[in-house]
Amino acid sequence: MNTRTLDPVPGHDHGHADGHDHAHDHAHDHHQPHGLQRWLFATNHKDIGTLYLWFSFVMLLSGGVLALMIRSELFQPGLQFFRPEFFNQLTTMHGLVMVFGAIMPAFVGFANWMIPLQVGASDMAFARMNNFSFWLLPPAALLLATSFWVPGGATAAGWTLYAPLSTQMGPGMDMAIFAMHLMGASSIMGSINIIVTILNMRAPGMTLMKMPMFCWTWLITAYLLIAVMPVLAGAITMTLTDRHFGTSFFNAAGGGDPVMYQHIFWFFGHPEVYIMILPAFGIVSQILPAFARKPLFGYASMVYATASIAILSFIVWAHHMFTTGMPVTSQLFFMYATMLIAVPTGVKVFNWVATMWKGSMTFETPMLFAVGFIFVFTMGGFTGLILAVTPVDIQLQDTYYVVAHFHYVLVAGSLFALFAGFYYWSPKWTGHMYPEGRGKFHFWASLITFNITFFPMHFLGLAGMPRRYADYNAQFTDFNAIATIGAFGFGLSQVFFLLFVVIPTIRGGARAPAKPWDGAEGLEWTVPSPAPFHTFETPPLVK
């Protein structure tokens, strides 16, 4: 019998005999919301997933435009296009928009779409809260975007918003703080929803250790989010009261400590980077077995490795702060703890390679992005290990080496995994197959231009070019010019993705069967493509 009797709109899922009175079904079909109402009052996990994905894509392109403005200024030394104070606004907003607007909501969009389908649930646990957690995001984005036009412009304190520079900013800073509060509240609600859905609404027979890896990584990520988003909220609230209400949390003259802000921020910030990569690990762990036609190698150890990374992420935060001047024991502790993370991360990479080993592989676009992810993400992993070593980090802190490192893990890592996930699941979302040739072109264009953009930054950083610089000494010119050319190529590749892959796939294309990938496993492939508005009204039985 139906476990969710409160569904206002019974489903079209006629493929499943579910004991519903069909006349009753049809009577309600006319109430299926259309137009603006469908999206504004959306409670369906698929609609909300779609909203999240579109929101994050718009933010990705906006953040991308900011990035290209940065790269244009840095094409040559000197100041050509922007004054330094505006340049600082660009770098700050690029970071905030990409982290909080693009990558995080994109993964929540995937979670909304796929977790109920993967665990055999009819919807997310809290459908109305789900609506609220999405609709908090557009106002937050609006606050960030409009802050460019207030006196003093957008906040220019860097995405980390270090005090006391953040107390010097104009009202743009307050708007950013409010925007981050909204996004944080949204994340916390989204996480609660995901945890409750996964823990309470799995189909009968689906034990935790039978769950798809994407659900596992998101379950762990959701706990991380609940643990650290309030910490960020605390840090920026203290900044707000320091700015306006006479407190001195981060002001030494009043007995505070600017470095305390960094401790609090990075206690959030380091788990945050795993929040942005763990679901990516999950997506890749779904795709590799499907296209190697061989089960994921070491499922249990993948779960344990993910959990280990999550736990370790709470005790490494101060490796972002080696140059603030810590006692030698703290430097050593944070160096050792950080290097330890290489172990579970290594286990994951080894397991992926073992999954591919002796498979029967084909290389459709999802697989290309997944393999590309492993290859390029691992480069970012290695530079992370090198940066973990305190003395080397002190040489490279706040240089372009760090910029290269985190773009290798966030763009080639998180973003490539998101692309892989799009190509893998879009047949289920849209009911159409994406154009394979264009998908492959998107992959190769992204991979090559990504490396043209970010590989030279390693050299710049080693040679000592500081990050967040509007102008640089002339010896750095050529690598910066190469990076700028690559960045425009990368940006164009994503416009190509939107215009020639995403939109055509939504509008039409070859009909996708229920299970377009012969090696794919999981409940999501047992429902038709496109997935009907309501699925699994009767939970499936998992053997």
Chain positions 362 to 401 lying near other proteins, rule: CB under 8 A, are 362-363, 371, 374-375, 378-379, 382, 385-386, 389-392, 394-395, 397-399
Distance CA 239, CA 176 (A): 11
Q: b/e string for 305-318 if b means 16 or more Cβ within 10 A?
A: bbbbbbebbebbbb
CB 395, min distance to other proteins, A: 6
Active site residue 187: yes
Nearer to other proteins, 19 or 151 (CB): 151
Active site residue 22: no
CB 85, min distance to other proteins, A: 4
Distance CA 203, CA 510 (A): 31
User: Of residues 257-276, which lie at the interface with other proteins (CB under 8 A)?
Assistant: 257-259
Active site residue 274: yes
Distance CA 180, CA 182 (A): 5
Whether 451 contacts 408, CB under 8 Å: no
Nearer to other proteins, 456 or 522 (CB): 456
Active site residue 31: no
Active site residue 270: yes
Q: How many CB atoms lie within 10 A of CB 277?
A: 25
User: Of residues 478-507, which lie at the interface with other proteins (CB under 8 A)?
Assistant: 478-479
CB 447, min distance to other proteins, A: 9
CB 372, min distance to other proteins, A: 11
Eight-class DSSP state of 332 = H
Find the binder of other proteins among 448, 481, 485, 514 (CB under 8 A). 448
Three-class SS of residue 543? coil
Active site residue 319: yes
- From 113-121, 150-158, 210-218, 405-413, give the range in contact with other proteins by CB under 8 A: 150-158
The residue behind tokens 């397991």 is 351
Active site residue 272: yes
Q: Is the dihedral of CA 439, 441, 444, 449 positive or negative?
A: negative
Whether 63 contacts 57, CB under 8 Å: no
CB 58, min distance to other proteins, A: 27
Find the binder of other proteins among 323, 492, 498, 503 (CB under 8 A). 323
Distance CA 134, CA 2 (A): 27
241 binds other proteins per the rule CB under 8 A:
no
Q: List the Cα angle 380/384/217 in 5-degree steps.
A: 70
Active site residue 94: yes
Eight-class DSSP state of 121 = -
332 binds other proteins per the rule CB under 8 A:
yes
Q: Which of 13, 174, 272, 537 is catalytic?
A: 272
Listed residue (107, 360, 299, 335) closest to 221, CA to CA: 107
Listed residue (535, 540, 524, 522) closest to 205, CA to CA: 540
CB 335, min distance to other proteins, A: 7
In the stretch 273-292, what mask flags binding to other proteins with x, by CB under 8 A? -------------------x
User: Of residues 159-218, which lie at the interface with other proteins (CB under 8 A)?
Assistant: 162, 164-165, 168-170
Active site residue 7: no
Q: Which of 20, 348, 405, 432 is catalytic?
A: 348
Active site residue 313: no
Listed residue (323, 308, 316, 214) closest to 268, CA to CA: 316
318 binds other proteins per the rule CB under 8 A:
no
Nearer to other proteins, 82 or 126 (CB): 82
User: Of residues 86-125, which lie at the interface with other proteins (CB under 8 A)?
Assistant: 88
Active site residue 186: yes
Listed residue (127, 141, 140) closest to 33, CA to CA: 127
User: Of residues 454-473, which lie at the interface with other proteins (CB under 8 A)?
Assistant: 455-456, 459, 462-473
Active site residue 50: no
Residue type, 21: D
Q: Which of 45, 319, 442, 458 is catalytic?
A: 319
Residues 6 or more apart whose CB falls under 8 angstroms from that of 109 comprise: 49, 50, 51, 52, 53, 55, 56
Active site residue 525: no
Three-class SS of residue 10? coil
- From 29-37, 140-148, 264-272, 339-347, give the range in contact with other proteins by CB under 8 A: 339-347
Nearer to other proteins, 45 or 294 (CB): 294
Q: Which of 94, 202, 405, 515 is catalytic?
A: 94
Active site residue 285: yes
Nearer to other proteins, 68 or 157 (CB): 157
> What is the DSSP annotation of 254-322?
GT--HHHHHHHHHHHHHHHHHHHHHHHHHHHHHHHHHHHTSPPTTHHHHHHHHHHHHHHGGG-GGGG-G
Interface size with other proteins, residues (CB under 8 A): 107
Whether 355 contacts 289, CB under 8 Å: yes
Distance CA 286, CA 216 (A): 11
Find the binder of other proteins among 22, 81, 241, 498 (CB under 8 A). 81
Residues with a known catalytic role? 94, 123, 159, 186-187, 270, 272, 274, 285, 319-320, 345, 348, 467
